[in-house]
């Protein structure tokens, strides 16, 4: 793999976040706080396509323009994770498998760093959830897991769960074809594991035999109250993960805690993907415990 231009700790880093309505994102502060703790010069700016008057289709060109203006790395969020790929020179294997990019590194086209910069798309939603699962739910049983939601976040979580060793993954989505498509894509990554698409109304029955469940839908976030399934079926033997972090204590998380489930709140994924991106941008290991503490400080009014 080519060496990232920004991998030398002595370099200043200018990172951008491409997406719509990203002014309230916590990602810039997470990166800047971790950089400050490590003595790095790092500035993180938002590149809001709404404020710039651009459509999602312009994300690829925006990425190239940003690099030309001196940005040394980029994060990408909704609705640009697919459209940004038109401006990239290369995709990592996970980004290619997922069909989505949330991190762009700027790399040299020559071993001595003298070549034209190459923009490489990566996906740390996938690696970030796997790291979050390991750190936040160590030893979680992965015999049978139910995943609700097969969109961008759900697809990344599904790949992470299979990579983590889930033996039977059941995927449900409001759009059955989307769940089926994720299951088919995952087939080539399994090692004797099973991936099954199920209907939303089958989730409750599936949980009877499941070890854990992940919500990868927007249900539970501000403006989308409720739970993605009947939470009354949860028992203390289940573990429950949610990708929603605003609020941190979703209705699903609250219900899970009430019955004694082990819980992975949405902040774990936020920190996991940010830490992985930070390492790609700077070439230095992130202190994940410190970044989790920073995150909890930023959402102190919502903490568990």
Active site residues: 81
Nearest one of 230, 178, 221 to 202, comparing CA atoms: 230
Parallel, antiparallel or unpaired: strands 239-242 and 73-76: unpaired
Q: How far is CA 193 from CA 77, 150, 167, in A?
A: 30, 18, 5
Torsion angle of the four alpha carbons 50, 56, 59, 65, in this order, in degrees rounded to the nearest 10: -40
End-to-end CA gap in the chain: 40
Instruction: Annotate 80-93 with b (16+ C-beta within 10 A) or e (fewer).
Output: bbbbbbebbeebbe
Number of neighbours of residue 27 by Cβ within 10 angstroms: 22
């Amino acid at each position: 793999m080519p060496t990232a231009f920004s991998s030398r700790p002595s370099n200043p880093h200018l990172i951008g976040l491409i997406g719509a309505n990203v002014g309230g994102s916590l990602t810039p502060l997470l990166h800047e706080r971790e950089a400050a703790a490590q003595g790095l010069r790092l500035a993180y700016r938002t590149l809001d396509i709404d404020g710039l008057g651009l459509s999602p289709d312009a994300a690829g060109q925006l990425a190239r323009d940003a690099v030309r203006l001196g940005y040394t790395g980029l994060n990408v969020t909704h609705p640009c994770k697919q459209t940004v790929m038109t401006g990239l020179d290369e995709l990592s294997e996970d980004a290619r498998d997922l069909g989505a990019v949330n991190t762009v590194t700027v790399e040299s086209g020559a071993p001595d760093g003298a070549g034209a910069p190459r923009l490489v798309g990566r996906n740390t939603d996938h690696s970030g959830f796997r790291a979050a699962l390991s750190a936040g739910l160590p030893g979680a049983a992965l015999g049978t897991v139910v995943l609700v939601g097969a969109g961008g976040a759900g697809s990344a979580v599904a790949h992470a769960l299979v990579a983590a060793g889930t033996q039977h993954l059941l995927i449900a989505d409001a759009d059955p074809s989307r769940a089926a498509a994720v299951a088919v894509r995952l087939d080539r990554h399994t090692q004797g594991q099973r991936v099954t698409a199920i209907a939303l109304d089958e989730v409750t029955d599936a949980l009877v035999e499941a070890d854990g469940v992940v919500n990868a839908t927007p249900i539970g976030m501000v403006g989308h109250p409720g739970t993605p399934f009947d939470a009354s079926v949860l028992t203390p033997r289940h573990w429950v993960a949610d990708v929603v972090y605003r609020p941190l204590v979703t209705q699903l998380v609250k219900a899970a805690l009430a019955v004694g489930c082990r819980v992975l709140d949405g902040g774990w994924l936020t920190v996991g993907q940010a830490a992985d991106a930070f390492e790609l941008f700077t070439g230095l290991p992130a202190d994940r415990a410190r970044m989790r503490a920073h995150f909890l400080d930023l959402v102190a009014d919502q903490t568990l």
